[in-house]
Amino acid sequence: MALLQRLGASSLRFSPSVSLIVARSASTMAPKLRDPSLLKHDVCYINGEWKPAGSGKTFNVNDPSSGELIGTCAECDVEDTKSAIRAAADAFKTFRTTTGRERAKLLRKWYDLMVENSEDIAKLITWENGKPFADAKGESAYAANFFEWFSEEAPRSYGDTIPATVPGNRVWTIKEPVGVCGLITPWNFPAAMITRKVGPALAAGCTVVCKAPGETPFTALALAELAHRAGIPKGVVNVITTLSNTPAIGEVLTTDPAVKKVSFTGSTGVGKLLMKQSSSTLKKLSMELGGNAPFIVFDDADIDVAVAGAIASKFRSSGQTCVCANRIYVQAGIYDEFVRKFAEKVQGFKVGHGFADGVTHGPLIHDRAVSKVEAHVKDAESKGGKLVIGGQRMPDLGSNFYQPTVIRDATPAMAIASEETFGPVAALFPFKTEKEVVDMANNAEVGLAGYFFSRDLQRVHRIAEALEVGMVGINTGIISDPAAPFGGVKESGFGREGSKYGIGEYQITKMITYGGMGQPLQS
């Protein structure tokens, strides 16, 4: 596969013979699981039991790298969802009365089982999501860590004693679980986005109905199997799968009066719809929606550190994360050097099937994702952007592959400046001043993550405070950590996941006032 390399007016020079290293897809890359019983076909998990969809229907799940069938899954519908909600509502009656310590032990057991089975979970992630196996192992550990973190939070979450204004009154608060939670999760982190929601929900004493993504249901079902083995009581965790009935199931989860909370990770458009639907029963909501992360490199930055950070942030999961750098702004004095060093790193990528040796970057999830990437590249080129590397599909590998791409001389007029690409395209924008770059960075409807690189301490504080985002990475391209609050501002949504704040999303703060306590001591 020849490197498509077109240089603009810059002084950049690459040898035309240099190629992206491409690992061919093997025709069959089906992994062998150490424990094959983790792979659940044609069943969902409701009320502690494995059952087929009520309709008996199934859907196909395909490997995004090879297109091969992985297996079939239960096509759950509205009735299955209602039965999962009923199971969760019944289980809530007793689960809400368990102590934090009891719930901590359950989550810890589930965590231990995830660690014990982490290779198999990683294999399922790579198989159905496509990310390289090394990244999938990282996700498997990251996902388990949410259970560890929230097992530690469960016994340590409690209310306040408040000095009352009214003489003789005593005021205190207790934390109660909100109730049945509807959790809707995406395919880009098939395990971690589930554990990031289920961990705090269970720690708080809630019960859950989790709608797994149609692209990556097998990882979700393996987690349910481990929940079963961990002894999570029946009905506390329910996992339903669907491909075609997603909108109908989303509607049930957002309108059924028994569901008290909905947590969603996905696009801003779908988030708005779910929020509208939830208004009929005024559910508590957490919305982790789209991003369009600015990534700013000031000329006082350590360029090599900034390049490494940009590579990690932009190309992690082939650009398919909500916190991926989408707009890389580089100050004029170091722009050419940064472009050269950045492109050199991209040249070293090995693209291919996630199980192939040495592969660093896998496919996109489906053809629609490739089309969006392609449209962004064409749009950027038509508006003066210059391709430094990449810019083509990779049909030899499969229909979901696109070359990791670097575009220089990007401008705010390009679609890539205002829309999340969710793919392996790095657009590099030159800028001159702090004010100019902060204005460009904040000129977005969304505000999830933002990054910048600088060694000037005063600038570090100025820029961190000026960026309109929920999360800031300074001199790093990776900010994900179960201990850190994850979430956005503006149309990136609201609510925080992970950290000490994550559990509060699944709790009610109940205030209790006890009056008439002011009498003098009795003699």
Q: What are the catalytic residues?
A: 288
On whether the CB atoms of residues 417 and 380 are closer than 8 A, the answer is no
With CB under 6 A as the contact rule, the residue among 59, 150, 189, 349 that binds ligand SIN is 189
Q: How is residue 18 written in tokens?
A: 């240099």
| Closest CB to ligand SIN among residues 237, 322 | 322
One-letter amino acid of 1 = M
Residue 515, CB half-sphere, CA atoms under 13 Å: how many?
Answer: 1
Query: 447-466: buried (b, 16+ CB within 10 Å) or exposed (e) per residue?
Result: bbbbbbbbeeeeebeebeeb
Instruction: Kindly tell me which residue out of 118, 254, 313, 321 binds ligand SIN, with binding defined by CB under 6 A.
Output: 321
> Contact with ligand SIN (CB under 6 A): which of 188, 242, 313, 492?
188
| Residue 478 beta carbon to ligand SIN: minimum distance, rounded to whole angstroms | 8
Helices 100-116 and 118-129: angle between axes, nearest 10 degrees: 70
Distance CA 205, CA 509 (A): 13
Q: Show the site string, 245-274: x = touches ligand SIN by CB under 6 A, - = not.
A: --------------------x---------
**What single string gives the DSSP state of each residue in 24-52?**
PPPS--PPPPSSGGG---S-EEETTEEE-
Question: Which one among 195, 480, 492, 507 touches ligand SIN, defined by CB under 6 A?
Answer: 480
**Nearest CB to ligand SIN, comparing residues 40 and 361:** 361
Least spacing, CB of residue 314 vs ligand SIN, in Å: 13
| Least distance in angstroms from the C-beta of 281 to ligand SIN | 26
Cβ 483 to ligand SIN, closest distance in Å?
13
**For residues 197 and 376, which CB has a smaller minimum distance to ligand SIN in the complex?**
197
CA-CA distances (angstroms) from residue 436 to 298, 299, 416, 439? 12, 14, 18, 5
What token pair was written down for 32? Answer: 């062998």
Looking at beta carbons only, is 76 or 323 nearer to ligand SIN?
323
**Contact stretch for ligand SIN (CB under 6 A) within 70-78, 96-104, 184-192, 391-399:** 184-192
* Closest distance to ligand SIN from the beta carbon of 160 (Å): 31
| Identity of the residue, 45 or 486, whose beta carbon is nearer to ligand SIN in the bound complex | 486
Q: Residue 146 or 335: which CB sits closer to ligand SIN?
A: 146
Residue, CB closest to ligand SIN:
480
CB of residue 491 to ligand SIN, shortest distance in Å: 15
DSSP 204-271: HT-EEEEEE-SSSHHHHHHHHHHHHHTTPPTTTEEEEE-STTHHHHHHHHHH-TTEEEEEEES-HHHH
CB of 235 to ligand SIN, least distance (A): 28
Candidates 119-127, 186-194, 197-205, 230-238; binding stretch for ligand SIN (CB under 6 A)? 186-194
Stretch that binds ligand SIN, among 91-99, 201-209, 320-328, 460-468 (CB under 6 A): 320-328
Residue selected from 270, 323, 351, 416 as contacting ligand SIN according to rule CB under 6 A: 323
Q: How far is the CB of 265 from ligand SIN (least distance, A)?
A: 6
- Separation CA 154–CA 102 (nearest Å): 9
Selected range binding ligand SIN among 171-179, 315-323, 338-346, 404-412, rule: CB under 6 A:
315-323
* Amino acid at site 16: P
To the nearest whole angstrom, how small is the minimum distance from the Cβ of residue 312 to ligand SIN? 11
Give Cα 154 to chain centroid, integer Å. 23
Owner of token pair 């458009």: 269
**For ligand SIN, which is the closer residue by CB, 329 or 422?**
422
Choose one: 40-48, 187-195, 363-371, 399-407; the region binding ligand SIN (CB under 6 A): 187-195
Q: How far, in Å, CA of 337 to CA of 274, rounded?
A: 45
- In the list 84, 144, 296, 322, the residue contacting ligand SIN (rule: CB under 6 A) is 322
Q: What is the DSSP letter of 425?
A: E
Going 93 to 94 to 95 to 99, the CA torsion angle's sign is: positive
What lies within 8 Å, CB to CB, of 469 at 6+ separation is 293, 294, 447, 448, 449, 450, 488, 489, 492
Say how far apart CA 272 and CA 289 lie, in whole Å.
9
Residue 506 within binding range of ligand SIN, rule CB under 6 A: no
**x/- letters, 192..211, toward ligand SIN (CB under 6 A):** x-------------------
Residue 149 backbone class (left: φ over 0; alpha: ψ -120 to 50; beta: rest)? alpha
Closer to ligand SIN by Cβ: residue 89 or 471 = 471
Residue 27 makes CB contacts below 8 A (sequence gap 6+) with 66, 68
d(CA 287, CA 492): 8
Phi-psi region at 495: left, alpha or beta (left = phi > 0; alpha = psi -120 to 50): left
Q: Which stretch binds ligand SIN (CB under 6 A): 37-45, 173-181, 316-324, 331-339?
A: 316-324
**Closer residue to ligand SIN in complex, CB, 235/477:** 477
Residue 512, strand partner residues: 172
Closest distance to ligand SIN from the beta carbon of 192 (Å): 6
Total residues in contact with ligand SIN, by rule CB under 6 A: 8
Rule CB under 6 A: which residues touch ligand SIN? 188-189, 192, 265, 321-323, 480
